[in-house]
Structure 1
Amino acid sequence: MRDIIRQKVLETKKNLVLEEISKIFENDGFSSVKMQDIANRLNISVGALYKLFSSKDELFYEYIAYQIRLFHNMLVENCSSLSQPKLCLETYVKLKFDVFTAKRKAIEDPVIGDPLFFFKMNTQKNDPVKPIFEFLAELFERLDKIEPLKEKNYMKLAYLFNAFTMGYIEYWINYDEKLEESASVVLEEFLKGMKA
């Protein structure tokens, strides 16, 4: 019982710290901030910060995983009142583009410095994106009953759709273009190649 309580306390501390770190990364970026700066802004010792996160890279991955959990919750909440899977898929695109646009400063350096960042993020043991892929797969399965799709592996469709939308984001980051594509247009472009 003591270990369970200790684990819950640690998770709560991490979430509180990640909430504050989100503000720091989103205002100042990732690469310009040192662990000492973060500890000072959080009013904790550097040692206490390193007890929660063993390195700055781990801290950044935890920040991304935290943001993914927030995004998943926001996606589920926004889709709860929508009966059409297509509207939920459009909501996914719109939310994804909005979130990346709002957090550009936080992700810009690691993404540009490491083109495989998101691939590595998805292949971690505790894949934080898995619930989103499962949600998307469920939406594609529902959509297939309304508008037949060529591909019947819905999880594969979820991964393909994620990669398709990430293409827009990576282009936007690398070429400093505006990320203003309409969610419905992006979805229709994807579905053109997927319809039976």
Structure 2
Amino acid sequence: MPRTKGQFEEMRNATREKIQSAAIQLFATRGFGSTNVQDIADTAGISVGLLYRHFKTKDQLFNELVAFAIEGLKRNIALFESDQSPTKLLTQFVDEVYTDMINGEELAHLLILINQSLLAGTATDSKQHEEILQINITLLDSTAQLIRRGQQLGEFRSGDAKEMALLFYGSIQGLAQIKILLKSSFVMPSPSTLTAFLLKERM
């Protein structure tokens, strides 16, 4: 029987996901400049011609991956700016990071990808580069505000909220890089370890 329109769309989406997964891995581990389209196609297990049906250029592929990462950062900002308990919000976020880090490499690759686009301006146009920078600043500010709320409620340890937010994200970013370097030897710190300098111990 001939395939239905829905089946073709499912196959198309599956191929795009394979391409994106391969590209994230290669961009993060080799860098944008050292990764070519053939490498991505080989890792995805498809032909270069099929890859070009989905993405016209390597730059377009990179920029779509960065756009995907940006949407994730926006969701984190919205979460932290909600009126839920600061402890609950932070714990939920750290639990998700922990789960993603122990179950695969996608989060680590995405974090490295964002850094590449910021530090090297890799493949991103000036508008997207500015957007990533502003979103990172907003995320830091919303996290610092979350920490201040937690401190006012007596749930978080005292200290400069902005410095604590910087240390928090610096730790996660550093762990992402170490995970990619150490591979199977990497051991992800527990959620309680990640939040020990932020949350007060419960009596």
State the TM-score, normalized to the length of structure 1.
Answer: 0.57
1:135 maps to a residue whose letter is S
In the TM superposition, what is the alpha-carbon distance from 1:37 to its structure 2 partner?
5.3
* Distance change (3 Å), C-alpha of 1:107 and 1:187: closer
Question: Residue 180 of structure 2 corresponds to which residue in structure 1?
Answer: 173
Residue 87 of structure 1 pairs with residue 92 of structure 2: no
Question: Residue 125 of structure 1 corresponds to which residue in structure 2?
Answer: 130
What percentage of residue pairs aligned between the two structures are identical? 16
1:149 aligns to what SS in structure 2? coil
In the TM superposition, what is the alpha-carbon distance from 1:182 to its structure 2 partner?
2.0
CA distance in 2 between counterparts of 1:165 and 1:60 reads: 22
Residue 26 of structure 1 pairs with residue 21 of structure 2: yes
Question: Residue 162 of structure 1 corresponds to which residue in structure 2?
Answer: 169
1:63 maps to a residue whose letter is L
| Aligned partner of 1:185 among 193, 196, 200 | 193
What are the ranges of 5 or more consecutive residues in structure 1 without an aligned counterpart?
1-16, 51-55
Pairwise CA RMSD: 4.4
1:184 maps to a residue whose letter is S
1:84 maps to a residue whose letter is S
What are the ranges of 5 or more consecutive residues in structure 2 without an aligned counterpart?
1-11, 27-34, 122-128
Aligned length: 160
CA distance in 2 between counterparts of 1:121 and 1:161 reads: 23
Question: Residue 69 of structure 2 corresponds to which residue in structure 1?
Answer: 67
CA distance in 2 between counterparts of 1:18 and 1:107 reads: 23
* Distance change (3 Å), C-alpha of 1:133 and 1:178: same
* Distance change (3 Å), C-alpha of 1:72 and 1:18: farther
In the TM superposition, what is the alpha-carbon distance from 1:99 to its structure 2 partner?
3.9
CA distance in 2 between counterparts of 1:156 and 1:67 reads: 24
CA contact (8 A) 2:95 2:191 kept: yes
CA contact (8 A) 1:94 1:183 kept: yes
CA contact (8 A) 2:157 2:198 kept: no
* Distance change (3 Å), C-alpha of 1:42 and 1:133: farther
In the TM superposition, what is the alpha-carbon distance from 1:163 to its structure 2 partner?
0.2
Residue 150 of structure 1 pairs with residue 155 of structure 2: no
Question: Residue 141 of structure 2 corresponds to which residue in structure 1?
Answer: 134
CA distance in 2 between counterparts of 1:89 and 1:106 reads: 17
* Distance change (3 Å), C-alpha of 1:68 and 1:173: same
